[in-house]
Amino acid sequence: MKCMQESEQINKQKIFFPHVVDLFSGCGGLSYGFHLEEFEIVAGIEKDNHACRTASYNLHWKHGKDREHLCEDINNVEASTIDRDIDKPVMVIGGPPCQAYSRIGKSKIRSLGEHRFGLNDKRAFLYKEFIRLSLDLNAEVIVMENVPESVNFLGNNIPQTVSEILEQNGYNAVWTILNAADYGVPQTRERVFVIGIKSKYGEIEFLPEPTHVNPKWRGKQNIESRFKKFKDLKNFRFPLTAAYDAPSWITVGDALSDLPGLFPNSRSKYTLEKIDTLKPYQTPPINEFQKFMRKLPKGEYAKSVSANCFRKTPRDFRIFEKMQPSDDYREALKIALNLFEEACDYNNINKNTEIDSYNRIKKDYVPPYDATKFHSKWKRLNPEKPSHTLVAHLGTDTYSHIHPFEPRGISVREAARLQSFPDDFIFSVPMGSAFTQIGNAVPPLLASGVAKAVLKNINK
C-alpha cells in the first residue's frame, strides 16, 4: 500500500499543470471547476465589482493567498498588467459576455436602442479581446465558453471563427456543445466550449467525459443526428455520451432536499435573512451530490449553511402554494383568478356596483402579465427532474425558478446548489447581485469535466 501511494505521488508530480488566468471571470464558476482539479488560479479579470469580490474570496483569500481578481474592463487590460509568474506557463479560460447572442437577452437589448443590438452591440465582439490577451500571454491552453446561440450570430459561427483564429496562431482547436446535466449538475444547461492547445502537444484527442445520463436516453441517445448541421465544420466535435450504466441525471429533489426549510406555507412570516446568516440543514447528506456540496477539508460534512435569503413576493406566495411541479404562468394565472373570485365572494364584492373595491382586490391577487406572452417567465421546479437553465435574470426576480416544496422563489443557496457551487462557496454581496452572479456562472462541475479533458490532452 505504501509503495502504491508513493507511486501515485510521483506520477502526480509529473503531471503538467499550467497556471490559470480567468478572463470575464464573473464570480468564478469556471475557475472553481479548474480549482477542483488542482489547477492554480493565479489571476482573473472581471468588470463587476461584486462578482470580482466573490471570485477573489473563494479562489484566493479563503485559501490564504495574497491575490485578488483585477476589477477592470478587459479593453483596458494588457498582458503586462496581469499579475502572474512570468516564468510559469499559463492557461487562459473565460466566457466572453453572451447577451448579444442569447435569445433571452435580445428583446431587452433591442428595447434599449439599435446601438445595443446586433452588430452595434460591442459585447458581441469581446471574444476578440479574449483572444488578444490569450495570445499576448502566450497561453499553452485556451478554453472559451459561451451560449449555444453563438453558433449563429447574424450568420456568423463564433466558436468556429475562434477555432480558426487559434489554428492560424499555432494551436490545435476544437469546439463542442456540452450539457451540464451530463456532468453531475442538477440543471439542463447547454454551453459551447472551444478548446485550443498549442500544436506541440499534438492533436486534441480527449473531450470532456460525461458522468451522468438522462434516464430517458440511456442507450438511445443519437448525438450525431442532433448536431448533424455542424458535422462538416472542421473544428466541431460531437460531444461524448455517458456509459450505459452511468448514474442518472441529478434531480432538483436530489440537490435541495437537505437544505434548511425557510417558508413552510403561504401564511408563514417572511424574514429577509442576511446573506451570511447560518442555518442548520434539515437532514444529514443523503446522496453523493449532497455529500460533495457539504464536504469540509477534513472529510467532515458541514452542519449549517449561509445564503438562505429569498425574495418577498406576498401577492404570489399563495399562488405558488397551489402550483404543481412544472406548472408555468398559465396555470399560475388560473390559480390567481380562482383565489380572486373566492376573495370577492368572501367579501361580498360585486364587480358591477363596487368597482373600486373589485379592482383593489384584483390587484392584490392577480399578477398583471399577459398569459400568451409571459408563460415561460414563471415555472415551479419539478423535484423529479433537473432544473431548467438558471439565468442572470434571477437578479431581478426568481419567478422562473419557484421552489419545488415551499411556496416561494428559490434562495441564493438553492440557486448555487442548482449550479453545483459547493456550500462553502461564499456570496458576501447583496442578494440581487448574488443571484445575477450565479445565473451568469459556468457550473463548477461542468468546468471540472472540461479541466480533466485538458489535463489528459497536455499530459498524454
**SS3 string of 61-87?**
HHHCCCCCCECCCHHHCCHHHCCCCCC
Q: Which residue has the cell 509529473?
A: 14
Contact 252, 270 (CB under 8 A): no
User: Under 8 Å CB-to-CB from 288, ≥6 apart: which residues?
Assistant: none
Q: Which helix (DSSP H) or strand (DSSP E) does residue 93 occupy? A: strand 90-94
Q: How far is residue 289 CA from its own chain's centroid?
A: 16
Residues forming a β-bridge with 194: 144, 175
* CB-CB contact of 342 with 380 (8 Å): no
Contact 55, 27 (CB under 8 A): yes
The letter for the amino acid at 404 is P
Please give the backbone phi and psi of residue 338, each rounded to the nearest 5 degrees, phi first: -65, -45
Q: What distances in angstroms separate CA 429 from CA 51, 77, 85, 420, one per listed residue?
A: 8, 25, 30, 19
What's the distance, CA 158 to chain centroid? 20
Residues acting as catalytic residues: 98
| 3-state DSSP assignment of residue 445 | helix
Residue 424 CA to residue 302 CA, distance in Å, equals 9
49-59 and 29-36 are packed helices; what angle lies between their axes, rounded to 10 degrees? 10
Question: Which DSSP string corresponds to 3-17?
Answer: HHHHHHHHHHHHS--
CA distances (Å), origin 393, targets 146, 390, 399, 422: 17, 8, 10, 22
Euclidean distance between CA atoms 407 and 268, whole angstroms:
10
Instruction: Confirm if 200 and 141 have CB atoms less than 8 A apart.
Output: no
Neighbours of 215 (CB within 10 A): 9
Helices (H) and strands (E) in the chain, counts: 16, 8
First to last CA, the chain: 26
As a whole number of angstroms, the distance between CA 322 and CA 266 comes to 10
